[in-house]
Amino acid sequence: MKHTRAMVLVSGDPLSLERGAMDVYNRLQDEIKAFGIDQEVNVTLVPELGRHDAAPLVVVYPEAVIYGPVKPENVHYLVEEHLYKGRVAAELQASVKELSGKIAWLTARKGTLPAEQRIVLERAGLIDPTSVEDYIVHDGYQALGKVLAEMKPTDVIDLVSKSGLRGRGGAGFPTGTKWGFVAKAPGSPKYVICNADESEPGTFKDRLLLEGDPHCLVEAMVIAAYAVGASEGYIYVRGEYSLAQERLHLAILQAKEMGFLGKNIFNTDFSFDLHIHSGAGAYICGEETALIESIEGKTGQPRSRPPFPTTHGLWGKPTLVNNVETLANIPAIIRHGAEWYRSFGTPSSPGTKVYTILGNVNMTGLIEVPMGITLREVITIYAKGMKDGKAFKFAQTGGSSGSVIPASLQDTPMDFDSFNKAGVSLGSGALLICNEDNCVVDMAKVLLNFFRKESCGKCNPCRIGCQRSWEILNAISEGRGKMEDLPVLMELSANLANLSNCGLGQTAGTPIHDILTHFRAEVEAHIRLKVCPAGVCRMREKVLR
């Protein structure tokens, strides 16, 4: 597997391209290959580095050393000195030495490479997911052995709490605290449930783990069960994930044969059994209480809370519900310790986050990076810039229930607290990157259409609020909107958030709030001028039916 030790960014803005940036970019690739370091060094042409003083610029991570202006004839010297011999190419740096610190987002991580750090996906793609022996060779079930041989249940919960792990399903609730609630809750039996429904549009991070490293999830659930005192568990898997279900079934059978699951695990008094429950395509079942209702054989509708699943969950018993990504962190935390885990990410949001990158960028896919990376870094380094050199306009985080992030917030660290202070949410990890050709009204209309169809209809605020919001947004997108609609939309957004019974309705109004907060002028243009600035909405006086 390719291990990136350095990243080289070449400015690709119009001025840089006019001055030969593409020739520099091509020459860099040729020289890096000639020196035999093409498996260690990644070269990227980025649309905007923030400075034009000495274009074209070349920036080398992790040192954040800035060179420029760089000409094709300078490239051999730069590669030999910096990338091959490991010392600064001083002659090229001299003309831009004053730029260091002026490109804030580049120098903020000086000394650290914002490269992928695999904890959750450490084995995915490297091992045979159908082989328990291969998993064991790569440190598999070591954490479970350590837990059962050396630790009490309270020790496990304390370690998870000290690690600072927070729920990766979107809420960011402290994992150790939730485990403690279930462990202390009266009543038995207790249950552990993994929420692997993953029905957020554009999100496929859990699928990669389920298909590529199923034993990691099995091991994590056994550890969680030991910590909270559970004897039985369920993995609620999205119905469309047939390969994931197949591999989970096999992993469970193999774990039982090896004595890692079932009766008297590791010859101890602890026993735990695990089942797979296939979802039936209902988005609402991603909500934990609707998921529990579904497992019980009922219609998947959210329960009123309190009481919470930690005390009254599956069949009314104390139940721990965690997301796939959350659980996948557990074996590594047990093996390496809380301090090791806290060495990644930010103080308030330790560890890594898995993101799926989608939209108008040059490279889409999945990455795992330390918490606290910025959206600008994700776009520039991992997505390799905006497609066709167009300007970044907004991003939506976390699928349909996430926030709309404007360009003004792209340097905000992507961790739970930083995003919360900025008035936005991190969500589940899907990053839909949109350029200037996308319309915020059209996007909000599409999202509300999704919510009104996926709403279970149990509570009035969600059932009526989603429908009414869509109707207003649809009218605005067709040139039939009125300025009086905007305060109504804001009121609907607030009512959805404050009065809805579950997370679906509570987040359905988020895109409305965000576009009226960050893109109000564009929304008003649809109403006042009967124009869609992005040229997406078909403005007309009557709805075509």
The predicted pLDDT at position 313 comes to 94
Q: Whole-angstrom Cα distance, residue 42 to residue 61? A: 10
Question: Which two tokens mark 143?
Answer: 């954490």
3-state helix, strand, coil in the chain (%, to 5): 45, 15, 40
Q: Whole-angstrom Cα distance, residue 339 to residue 395? A: 33
Angle formed at CA 54 by CA 363 and CA 57, multiple of 5 degrees: 25
Neighbours of 98 (CB within 10 A): 10
pTM of this structure: 0.80
Give the model's confidence band at 184: pLDDT under 50 very low, under 70 low, under 90 confident, else very high.
Answer: very high
Task: List the domains of the chain with CATH numbers.
Answer: 6-107 (3.40.30.10), 132-339 (3.40.50.11540), 345-435 (3.10.20.600), 440-529 (1.20.1440.230)
Is the bond preceding residue 189 a cis peptide, omega within 30 degrees? yes
The predicted pLDDT at position 45 comes to 74
The whole-number average pLDDT for the span 85-92 is: 85
User: Lowest-pLDDT range, 75-79, 101-105, 356-360?
Assistant: 101-105
The predicted pLDDT at position 102 comes to 42
The predicted pLDDT at position 1 comes to 40
**Which is higher by pLDDT, 156 or 108?**
156
**Which is higher by pLDDT, 489 or 92?**
489
pLDDT beyond 50 at 215: yes
Q: Note the pLDDT tens digit of each residue in 378-397.
A: 888 888 888 887 889 999 98
The predicted pLDDT at position 227 comes to 97
The owner of tokens 């039982």 is 256
**Which is higher by pLDDT, 488 or 201?**
488
The whole-number average pLDDT for the span 46-64 is: 72
Q: Note the pLDDT tens digit of each residue in 401-418.
A: 889 999 999 889 999 999
pLDDT beyond 90 at 472: yes
Strand partners, 404: 396
Neighbours of 393 (CB within 10 A): 21
Average pLDDT value for the chain: 88
pLDDT beyond 80 at 160: yes
The predicted pLDDT at position 49 comes to 60
Neighbours of 102 (CB within 10 A): 13
Q: Note the pLDDT tens digit of each residue in 474-530.
A: 999 999 999 999 999 999 999 999 998 888 888 889 999 999 999 999 999 999 999
The predicted pLDDT at position 545 comes to 40
Helix, strand counts (H, E) of the chain = 24, 13
**Which is higher by pLDDT, 324 or 97?**
324
